[in-house]
Amino acid sequence: MKRWLVLALVVVLAGGGWWFLSHRSSATTATQYLTSTVKQGDVTASIAATGSVGSASTYSLAFGQTTSTTSTGTSSAQGSSASNASSGSGSSTSSATVATVPVVVGQHVVQGQVLATEDRSSTSASVLSARASVASAQAQVQVARANLVSTQAKISSQSSASTQLASAQAQLAADQAQLAVDQQRLSSAKAQLAKDQAAVPAAPSSVIAADKLAIAQAQQAVARDNASIANDKTAITSAKDTSVTSSANAAQLAQARAAVTQAQNQVTTARSQLATAVSAAAQTTITAPVAGVITAVNVTVGEAPPSSAAITMRSDSLTVVVQVAEQDVPNLKVGQTAQVTVTALSQTVPAKVTALPTSASTSSTGSGAVTFPLSLALSSNPAGIIPGMTASIAIVTATAKNVLYVPSTAIQGTSPDNTVQVMANGTPQSMPVSIGLSTNSSTEIISGLQAGQTVVTGVVNPTAATTTTGGTGGFSGRTGLGGNSFPGGTRPGG
């Protein structure tokens, strides 16, 4: 009896196993489809890339010299630098010492703000002396012009030898009186110089320079008076000679005009010397060429300035240099607007493309992926941003608005023979479609489908335990989300 019970149990178990395996096999052979619906909205193609924030320009500043470095981001992964140097007409003397350094590292400065100064006592005295020389030369021009006018008046008023003689004698008396005055002024100036040179403590160098200038001016005045007296005596002699001719008058006019020209030339020379003195004085001050932030201070008050940069700074203007894929380069244009997200700050600001790539990044040489550096200028600086921060960018290159679209994984075939598998009563049917803008995620449908239809984006093969998604030319494994934009360019429309 037990034997029959065991035999019956074996038969029941065998039958149950056969039933389970047969039903399991039929269930697993059923194909499962991944689907999505045809939607209406915008399809956007964009370029996305990551990089870092950098300074648009940096400056190495020294007394009498400024060297600027502009970030272009066109020859290396970090962005290259093109130097632009502009120097003053001279440099700081080796004996000069730093007088003031009113800035520190990290301080924000405005354009034209004084960053450091040298001891300028000698250059200030030179400027004062040069300005006095200009004033003296201008006075000589006025004297020469007055003499020319006087000469012209004398010639035009020549009525008789007696009138000329009286006029010449009167002029001689006036010039002799002026000579006496100028000689007295010269004596006083010499006495003042002697007094200042003997003073204890010693008079400042600027005072001695002013004394010497006063002596030189007085000497010029005396010499001018003597020349006038000589001319007056010649005029008296000529007036006594009744054979005054027009040629003599012409010579006097030529001499007077030459004196005016000579005096004007002296003014030009004096102004040139003043400009040189002012330039030398300016080279004792370092000012900020732009608004920005101090990055290094290499000078100390009371010590000689270094032969290299005394102060370095960066501009307020910031750039972002990112690496873009080679297939995205043809879609780039100078002036394109991008959205830049600074990772550390979680802030997004607009930016514009300022320079296009000219060569591949050195970091991609020899590697499988070739990238190109792209430089963008930020329109504004978010609070807290500093060079070196990580940033990502997105540049919209094409947009199709209010169109039908499907996931790009639903598209099969190549243009103009694209097809889509449309589900009808649980069974996929191939439908020809005409496509427009296509990205990695979404593809515009120009014709062939209607909003709301269900399309196949992939299949699940139970026997192989794999999932296959669609794409151009067959199921390629790409995935996508309708309406989102990802890098990858555009697929031509059908």
Question: Do 335 and 448 sit in the same domain of this protein?
Answer: yes
Whether residue 464 is found in the same domain as residue 374:
yes
User: Is residue 42 included in any domain, yes or no?
Assistant: no
Last residue of a domain, one of 257, 282, 307: 282
Is residue 480 a part of any domain in this protein?
no
Residues 127 and 216 in one domain: yes
pLDDT score recorded for residue 39? 96
Structural domain count, the chain: 3
How far is it, in rounded angstroms, from Cα 64 to Cα 347?
A: 41
Does a cis peptide bond (omega within 30 degrees of 0) precede residue 357? no
Distance, CA of 386 to CA of 126 (rounded, Å) = 44
Q: Look at residue 211 and tell me if it is in a domain.
A: yes
| Residue that is written with structure tokens 């296009």 in the block | 356
CB 263 within 8 Å of CB 144? yes
**401 and 325 together in one domain:** yes
Residues 6+ apart with CB under 8 A from 358: 74, 75
Q: What is the pLDDT of residue 304?
A: 84
The answer to the question of residue 24 being in a domain is no
Instruction: Examine the domain organization and report whether 71 and 142 are in the same domain.
Output: no
Cβ pair 214, 189 in contact under 8 A: yes
357 closest CA partner among 390, 340, 333, 339 = 333
Apex 479 CA angle, 477 and 485, nearest 5: 140
CB 83 within 8 A of CB 77: no
How far, rounded to the nearest angstrom, does the alpha carbon of residue 428 sit from its chain's CA centroid? 60
- 48: nearest Cα among 387, 494, 367, 484: 484
Does residue 110 form part of some domain? Answer: yes
Q: For residue 187, which phi and psi values (nearest 5 degrees)?
A: -65, -40
Q: Are residues 333 and 450 in the same domain?
A: yes
Measuring CA to CA, how many Å separate 288 from each of 13, 119, 146, 301?
94, 19, 48, 18
Q: How far is CA 8 from CA 3, 4, 22, 189, in A?
A: 9, 6, 21, 146
Bridge partner list, 285: 117
- In this structure, the answer to whether residues 387 and 409 fall within a common structural domain is yes
pLDDT of residue 462: 60
Do 278 and 291 fall into the same domain? no
Q: From CA 197, how far away is CA 172, in angstroms rounded?
A: 37
Same domain? For 299 and 323 the reply is no
Rg (CA), the chain: 46
As a 3-state breakdown, the chain gives helix, strand, coil percent values, each rounded to 5, of 35, 30, 30
Instruction: Measure CA 414 to chain center.
Output: 48
**Cα(117)–Cα(102) distance, integer angstroms:** 9
- At 251 the pLDDT is 84
| Residues 291 and 187 placed together within one structural domain of the fold | no
- 15 in any annotated domain: no
How much is the pLDDT for 408?
A: 94
Looking at the chain, how many residues does it have? 494
How far is it, in rounded angstroms, from Cα 465 to Cα 98? Answer: 79
Residue 87 within any structural domain of the chain: yes
CATH number for 345: 2.40.30.170
Query: 449 and 385, same structural domain?
Result: yes
Q: How far is CA 364 from CA 51, 75, 358, 360, in A?
A: 14, 11, 14, 7
Range of the domain at 411: 318-469
CB burial of 450-465 (b: ≥16 within 10 Å; e: otherwise) equals eeebebbbbbeeeeee
Residue 17 CB neighbours (<10 A): 10
Token couple for 48: 């996305």
Which tokens sit at 75? 């020859």
Please count the CA atoms within 13 angstroms of the CA of 373 that sit on its side-chain side: 26
User: Rounded to an integer, what distance in angstroms lies between the CA atom of residue 22 and that of residue 382?
Assistant: 67
What 3-state class would DSSP assign to 405?
strand
Q: What are the pLDDT tens digits along the chain (494 aa)?
A: 445 444 555 444 555 554 444 444 444 456 789 999 999 999 999 999 999 998 888 999 988 777 777 664 433 333 333 333 333 333 444 467 888 899 999 999 999 999 998 876 656 667 787 788 888 888 888 988 988 898 888 777 665 666 777 888 899 999 999 999 989 988 998 988 888 888 888 888 888 898 899 899 989 999 999 999 999 888 888 777 655 556 777 888 888 889 889 889 988 988 888 887 776 666 778 889 999 999 999 988 888 888 888 899 999 989 999 999 998 999 999 999 999 999 999 999 999 998 899 898 876 555 568 999 999 999 999 999 999 999 999 999 889 999 999 999 999 998 889 999 999 988 999 999 999 999 889 999 999 999 999 999 998 876 555 555 555 444 433 333 334 333 334 343 33
Report how far apart the first and last C-alpha atoms of the chain are (Å, whole number).
79
Coil vs helix vs strand at 305: coil
The answer to whether residues 269 and 322 belong to one domain is: no
Query: Rounded to 5 degrees, what are φ and ψ at 80?
Result: -85, 175
Structural domain includes residue 350:
yes
Instruction: State whether residue 185 is helix, strand or coil.
Output: helix
Between CA 177 and CA 457 the distance in angstroms is 115
Tell me the one-letter amino acid at 275: A
Q: Are 218 and 186 in contact (CB under 8 A)?
A: yes
